[in-house]
Homo-oligomer: A and B are copies of this chain.
Amino acid sequence: MKEKLTIVKVGGKIVEEADTLSQLLADFSAIPGYKLLVHGGGRSATKIAAQLGIESKMVDGRRITDAETLKVVTMVYGGLVNKNIVAGLQAKGVNAVGLTGADMNVIRSVKRPVKEIDYGYVGDVKHVDAEVLVSLISRGVVPVMAPLTHDGEGNMLNTNADTIAGETAKALAEAFDVTLIYCFEKKGVLRDAEDEDSVIPVITPDLFKKYVDEGVIQGGMIPKLENSFSAVEAGVSQVVITLASAIDGKSGTIIKK
């Protein structure tokens, strides 16, 4: 039987403020067994970019990454945010290692082709080296992954943290019984957007189709759940969408086959 591995993806907001970061580090440290953290950092990047006189341009929530912006995200995601998390976890006895995709060639991507929009130095993930990650995790090391990859030609690329979490979970599903937890700003997928407590506990492919048909699930939640099902189809045991304060897995919405 495969050993359990919990992959937690947490957005920028949580890791960028001292209070919420401190709580997250405590909660994440308390997760038993093998684990891996993927973090964002967009708010800090936007703030530092502004201080450096660089305007942040977003299209559909994605950052247009020109050469100057790439420097900022490399600094902020790979340095400031990542190392603060790593040092914080070490202080709690968690043997963390900060990684971008370039480190040990863990995630290689290709620069997104220019179509209607030129996203600039943004990477679409091509390959996750599961072997390197399994080797680290098996020795009790906890990878802390920044939303950065590389193209194998010397360039770092800005890469969506949800995508890194999803692709890493898929790549590790052969070696581990993987639970992928997406931290969300709500308690889970809500049946009624106005009612914070109307969390749908479990969504299967059949239920997903039904909820979409009924209009219960709509908008940006549809691609999020499609990505979750894609992870489950690729062998990830379950995906959980929940609050960062509930990563013990006892609440939230579980997406499974």
Say whether A156 contacts B75, CB under 8 Å: no
In whole Å, how far is A75's beta carbon from the nearest beta carbon of chain B? 4
> Which A73-110 residues sit within 8 Å CB-CB of chain B?
74-80, 82-84, 86-88, 90-91, 95-100, 102-105
Q: Tell me which residues across on chain B come within 8 A of A86, comparing CB atoms.
A: 100, 102-103, 150
Q: How far is the CA of A91 from the CA of B156 in the complex (A)?
A: 11
Query: In this assembly, does A152 line the interface, its C-beta being within 8 Å of a C-beta of chain B?
Result: yes
Q: Tell me which residues across on chain B come within 8 A of A52, comparing CB atoms.
A: 48, 51-52
Option from B98, B102, B139, B152 in Cβ contact (under 8 Å) with A103: B98
Task: Count this chain's copies in the assembly.
Answer: 2
> In the complex, how many residues of chain A place their beta carbon closer than 8 angstroms to a beta carbon of chain B?
40
Say whether B87 contacts A155, CB under 8 Å: yes
Query: In this assembly, does A71 line the interface, its C-beta being within 8 Å of a C-beta of chain B?
Result: yes
Q: Tell me which residues across on chain B come within 8 A of A102, comparing CB atoms.
A: 83, 86-87, 90, 96, 98
Say whether A90 contacts B150, CB under 8 Å: yes
Say whether B141 contacts A104, CB under 8 Å: yes
Say whether B96 contacts A98, CB under 8 Å: no
Query: In this assembly, does A32 line the interface, its C-beta being within 8 Å of a C-beta of chain B?
Result: no
Enumerate the 5 nearest inter-chain pairs by beta-carbon distance, A residue then B residue, closest first. Answer: A79-B79, A91-B154, A75-B75, A78-B79, A75-B79
Q: Which residues of A contact B (CB under 8 A)?
A: 48, 51-53, 71, 74-80, 82-84, 86-88, 90-91, 95-100, 102-105, 135, 139, 141, 148, 150, 152-156
Q: List 21 A-B contacts (CB under 8 A).
A: A51-B52, A71-B80, A74-B79, A75-B79, A78-B78, A78-B79, A78-B82, A79-B82, A79-B83, A83-B100, A83-B102, A84-B156, A86-B100, A87-B102, A88-B154, A90-B105, A90-B150, A91-B154, A95-B104, A96-B104, A104-B141
- New contact pairs (9) apart from A75-B76, A79-B82, A95-B105, CB-CB < 8 Å: A75-B75, A83-B100, A83-B148, A87-B102, A87-B156, A91-B153, A91-B154, A96-B104, A98-B103
